[in-house]
A = this chain, B = another copy of it.
Amino acid sequence: MKRLLMVLGLVSTLAYGDIRFAQPEPSIEKPREVVMGISHGDDESIHHGLSTANNVLKFYGPEKIHLRIVAYYHGIRTLLKSEKEIAVRVRALQQYGVEFVACGNTMETKKITPDQLDDDVEIVSAGIAEVIERATEGAFYIQP
């Protein structure tokens, strides 16, 4: 039996325990805080960003990660209602608790109005400042 548990333990190590968690481990009470910036507007960059978000959710579990995605510069395209295919992925991530934020500076430059954005998207005046403030609070910043 002990041997079996050890074997099971080993299997579990290979399958899930490969990444050594930093201390304290992420938990429901204290999830990992991550802020992601998306600044490129081509299909591949946007889908790569959203897939990275997926991988992060899958690894930690949605309840142990607090992920905010800030779209700015050409990356604002991520949040346009008119981009149907992308909008479906954004909606799916939102349903797992991922938050999306649009950069007001970018919207002004590109003449994008709030009603052109997906539902439940926050707007901040400066996307880059949102990233700096959340990171100053301890969030980890990734630009995939």
Contact = CB atoms under 8 A, between A and B. Distances in A.
Given A56-B132, A105-B55, A19 B126 contact: yes
A20 interface: yes
A137 interface: yes
Given A39-B144, A128-B144, A144-B39, A133 B55 contact: no
A107 to B, nearest CB: 12
A18 B123 contact: yes
A25 to B, nearest CB: 9
A2 interface: no
Given A18-B123, A140-B135, A128 B32 contact: no
Interface residues of A, number: 40
Contact of A130 (B19, B34, B39, B141): B19
A86 to B, nearest CB: 18
Contacts of A34: 132
Given A18-B123, A56-B132, A135-B140, 4 more contacts: A16-B125, A18-B104, A32-B132, A59-B125
Interface of A: 15-16, 18-23, 32, 34, 39, 48, 52, 55-56, 58-60, 73, 104-105, 123-126, 128-137, 140-144
16 contacts: A18-B104, A19-B124, A19-B125, A19-B130, A19-B133, A22-B136, A22-B137, A34-B132, A48-B73, A52-B128, A55-B105, A55-B129, A56-B129, A59-B125, A128-B142, A132-B142
